[in-house]
Amino acid sequence: YVSPFAAPLNGVVMDFVVVANYFEGDDNDQVPQHYEQDSYIYQVNYTTGTFAIHQSLRTSGVSSVRVFTHVTPSLGYPSIYMAVANQRGFAGLDATSRLYKWSDGAVAAQNVSEDCAGYPVRPGRMEHVYDIPTTACEDLFFF
């Protein structure tokens, strides 16, 4: 699953694309751990036609990714969110789907130096904010 979005990074709006991985392995030997995969957010430069891994996220048989904005009245400006529908994993069809929020910085305060796949943590990233228990989830919507 692929989902593009634009987000601020160091005061400049940059382009990103989420590439969510569902399964890795042999279709004839489907075991739960084959659904536990790293998915990636790439920073895209459309001018040069290049892209680079910006962040990795652990997913479980992801079936959809939705990037959306929501204006919090107390803040008065939109925040960028990403809903990841995880369909299956180690617990079969019971998987935890996740909600993330774009953070423009403040990574150093968390004392984290790398993400789940060992890539360096950079300012401007999707931060996990909420777990959603789901069973065979195919999609998540914001309304």
71-117 confidence digits (pLDDT tens): 878 877 788 999 999 888 777 788 899 999 998 764 444 444 555 55
Q: Give Dmax (Cα) for the chain.
A: 52
Average pLDDT, whole number, for the chain? Answer: 80
Which pLDDT does position 100 carry in this prediction?
94
pTM of the predicted model as reported, rounded to 2 decimal places: 0.79
pLDDT top residue among 5 and 41: 41
pLDDT top residue among 132 and 27: 132
Residue range 44-71, pLDDT digits in tens: 988 899 999 999 998 988 888 989 988 8
pLDDT top residue among 128 and 73: 128
CA-based Rg of the chain, rounded to a whole angstrom?
Answer: 16
Helices vs strands, H then E, count in the chain: 0, 8
Reduce the DSSP state of residue 109 to 3 states and report it.
Answer: helix
H helices present in the chain, as ranges: none
pLDDT top residue among 120 and 99: 99
